[in-house]
Amino acid sequence: SGAGLHRPVVLHVDEPVHVVPDGVAVTTVRVEDDQAVVDVVTTMRNAGMATATVVAETVLRDADGGEVERDATPSTLAPGETALVRQQFYVQRPRLWSPDHPWLYTAQVSLDGAPTLVRFGIRTVTVDPRKGLRINGEPVLLRGACLHADNGPLGAAAIGRADERRIELLKEAGFNAIRTAHNPASPAMLDACDRLGMMVMDEAFDMWTRFKTPYDYAADFPQWWAADLEAMVAKDRNHASVIMYSIGNEIAEVGAPHGARWARRMAELVRALDPSRLVTNGINPFLAVIDE
């Protein structure tokens, strides 16, 4: 969105053995009549000079702060090593997240020190040509809007309360979904969508290899596309409101053979990073035809 820093910047000051940024992934494995199975995968790194053993303690809490489940897993890391800890929880009588009932839980992960907090919702998303889009098995119709990366007269700066206010107004007007046109949403906006029950199509790129302006992202795309997709998924995967990813908006080369090749590569990377969500693409048919 133009240039410069238009969202908050965070400086991480960590212990030698620490949870990497965006390193906790919470996934709903399945939902049953009386319980939900939830996976918590924590990525840790040892930046120290000696082998260390730490205990990853994870506590799940409901919206009222009550403890739901807990687990503790020891892990040994050599100097410079990155490791995963996988923990599975069985939540009894879960409150499921949906646009009408946006119930949220919190996962608190501690490595012998300060905790990492992640809010998440327990819900399933499925789609097929016969039954359409379903949230927790219930059919849902999307009543959506495209939200661009600006706050009107406030400019391009991502002000948390301004983003939240936009979601509040859309929800009051009867919308239940947004598309982040044409870039990943700010954390503040996704937090608001989680709390208020607004479904999200999380969009990555406005161009791939074809330039739309002389100095846009197409110059960097061949080098950075994979790293940027990985960063987007890591940032947004715990948000219950995000029900699908979009790998592009009005991409000029999408109708050409090399565009199809790029689309397949990106879609497969996103599916490998997060197999729990749908992957789509915002296509402008006229633009795709004239590129032929």
Q: Give residue-wise pLDDT tens across range 273-287.
A: 999 999 999 988 888
The whole-angstrom separation of Cα 131 and Cα 119 is 30
Which tokens in the block code for residue 31? 């939902």
Q: Tokens at residue 37, please?
A: 């199975």
Rounded to the nearest 10 degrees, how much is the dihedral formed by the CA atoms of 119, 123, 129, 130? -160
Entry pTM: 0.95
User: Over the chain, what is the mean pLDDT?
Assistant: 94
Question: How confident is the model over 145-160, as pLDDT tens digits?
Answer: 999 888 888 888 889 9
pLDDT for the residue 73: 97
- Would you place residue 292 in the very low, low, confident or very high pLDDT band (cuts 50, 70, 90)? low
pLDDT at 176 exceeding the cut of 70: yes
Active site residue 138: no
- Residues ≥6 apart with Cβ < 8 Å to 71: 57, 58, 87, 89
Strand partners, 180: 147
Give me 129's structure tokens.
Answer: 């040509």
User: Look-up: residue for tokens 């996976």?
Assistant: 39
pLDDT score at 291: 64
More confident residue, 7 or 46: 46
- Residue 267's pLDDT band, with cuts at 50, 70 and 90, is very high
Nearest to 284 by CA among 266, 259, 265, 258: 259
168's CB contacts (< 8 A; 6+ apart) are 192, 196
Q: How confident is the model at residue 113, as a pLDDT?
A: 73
User: Which pair of tokens denotes residue 148?
Assistant: 């661009």
**Residue 290 pLDDT:** 73
Task: Render pLDDT for 211-255 as a digit per residue (tens, 0 to 9).
Answer: 999 989 999 999 999 999 999 999 999 999 999 999 999 999 998
Task: Give CA separation, 35 vs 27, 90, 139, 240, 273, in Å.
Answer: 14, 6, 21, 18, 26
Per-residue pLDDT, 27? 97
pLDDT of 2 strictly over 90 = no
Of the residues 69, 250, 268, 292, only one is catalytic, namely 250
Q: Are 168 and 196 in contact (CB under 8 A)?
A: yes
